[in-house]
Amino acid sequence: MNRTEMPPIKDALHFDLRLKPYDYYELNNGVPVYAIHAGAQEVLQLELVFYAGNFYESQKGIAAATNFLLKNGTEQRSAFQINEDFEYYGAYCNRACYNETAVISLHTLSKHTDKLLPVLEDMISNSTMPEDELSIYKQNAVQRLTVNLKKSEFVADRLINGYLYGTSHPYGTSNNTDDIEAIPVDQVRAFYDRYYRNGQCAIFVAGHLPANLIESMNRTLGGLKLSKPTFTAPEILPAPAAEKKYRIEHDANGVQGAIRIATSFPNRHHPDFKKVMVLNTVFGGFFGSRLMSNIREEKGYTYGIYSYLQNHLATTAWMISTEAGKDVAESAIAEVYHEMLKLQTEPVGADELMLVKNYMLGSILGDLDGPFHIIGRWKNIILNRVDASYFDESIQVIKTITPEELQQLAKQYLQPEHFYELVVV
């Protein structure tokens, strides 16, 4: 290597990006396992994805409370003992609840997998959902919500989703303190029995996988009363609000407004979705975007402004999000619409489009760094029920999309009158 000469620079556009294929297994009970064996470090990530999100709850807060309490006591172990089991082996077990799905995740050294799978089995099959633990959960949840409700950005996120989907839709609903305090332990236990103990589950595992992993999983998780998911959730139609513009005074002494501008948008099954992801990046999807250059760098109205497509499995939304001084909030909104109209009337320049393509492909390259990221990509593809070719097609769209296509998409989708507009001060 001649260190007096600069190495050649290669545009990400010329990278041949491939998504490492997964290995597929089924446990004795039919539960699918998607596995990526890769990485030099002897670590492992395992995620159990249940169809147990708030789409399935009959009362607000049930799904999240149930998911949290999975780690808070079984017939054999107290909450302390469960945490001790994971701590002893230097492992980390977390759980999370979303709209359609809920997750139990485990990060551990590969050699300790055999010791920890029985703990996961116990959590899924023998959790008792103790009433005293539920009381602590409700107390903490109420305290967190009370603090968050003082923040204009938190209130704005709740409100804009309610306008987009309707407050009765799982994407638009939000809990208040009365909802949390009213969560009954009997409904939590019933939800657990139906959607965890006898639920639909898919498993995603990645890392340096032990040779006997599937055998170990069959001894534990393969004997549970779980079934293979249909990978579908109940169809619940949105009921969007009729009014499009809202101004909310949340704090009479507030100096900053939380701005949300959003419109409904089809999910990733729509033929334009991949192309719109490129348009969104140009518009507001990264630090060098149009919105950031104008509203942060040139006007100085905000520290940061971004646009993104919400990652929902069903109908989604295109969202612009920022916080700005209340004296310049209206001006910031006007500049957002100005950038929409500019994309409709002027084709994106070749240099700007090349920058965006390199940024997007470089980001994807970074996302493929290691087995955990790779299985994350596959999980997104599988749960969204898109073809395995989705990744390759997305890469091809980024590489080949033209300024004319972006301009046409802007004319179709970036119409200011279609967007909900909210400022919470």
pLDDT tier, 8 (very low <50, low <70, confident <90, very high otherwise): confident
Report pLDDT for 82: 97
pLDDT tens-digit series, residues 406-416: 999 999 999 99
pLDDT tens-digit series, residues 219-240: 999 999 999 999 999 999 999 9
Strand-pairing partners, residue 206, are 36, 45
pLDDT tier, 425 (very low <50, low <70, confident <90, very high otherwise): very high
pLDDT tier, 281 (very low <50, low <70, confident <90, very high otherwise): very high
- Architecture (CATH level 2) of domain 21-223: 2-Layer Sandwich (3.30)
Two tokens, residue 268 = 């990733």
Helix (H, G, I), strand (E, B) or coil at 24: strand
Cβ-proximal residues to 404 (8 Å cutoff; 6+ apart), any chain: 347
Average confidence score pLDDT of the chain: 96
Q: Up-side HSE of residue 281: CA atoms within 13 Å toward CB?
A: 18
Question: What average pLDDT score do residues 284-294 get?
Answer: 97
| pLDDT of 1 over the 80 cut | no
pLDDT tier, 374 (very low <50, low <70, confident <90, very high otherwise): very high
pLDDT tier, 150 (very low <50, low <70, confident <90, very high otherwise): very high
Whether 21-223 shares its CATH topology with 245-424 is answered: yes
Cβ-proximal residues to 343 (8 Å cutoff; 6+ apart), any chain: 279, 282, 283, 290, 406, 407, 410, 414
| pLDDT of 213 over the 90 cut | yes
Residue 11 or 371, more confident: 371
Report pLDDT for 369: 86
Question: What average pLDDT score do residues 30-38 get?
Answer: 97
| pLDDT of 3 over the 90 cut | no
Question: What average pLDDT score do residues 278-300 get?
Answer: 97
Q: Quick one: DSSP state of residue 256?
A: E
pLDDT tens-digit series, residues 37-90: 999 899 999 999 999 999 999 999 999 999 999 999 999 999 999 999 999 999
Using a cut of 0.85, tell me whether the model's pTM lies above it: yes
The CATH class given to the 245-424 domain equals alpha beta
pLDDT tier, 14 (very low <50, low <70, confident <90, very high otherwise): confident
Question: What average pLDDT score do residues 157-181 get?
Answer: 97
Report pLDDT for 12: 79
For residue 273, give the nearest of 164, 412, 162 by alpha carbon.
412
What percent of the chain has a predicted confidence (pLDDT) above 90?
93
For residue 123, give the nearest of 70, 68, 163 by alpha carbon.
70
**Domains in the chain: boundaries:** 21-223, 245-424
For residue 121, give the nearest of 230, 225, 227, 208 by alpha carbon.
225
Report pLDDT for 353: 97
Cβ(282)–Cβ(360) below 8 Å: no
pLDDT tens-digit series, residues 99-127: 999 999 999 999 999 999 999 999 999 99
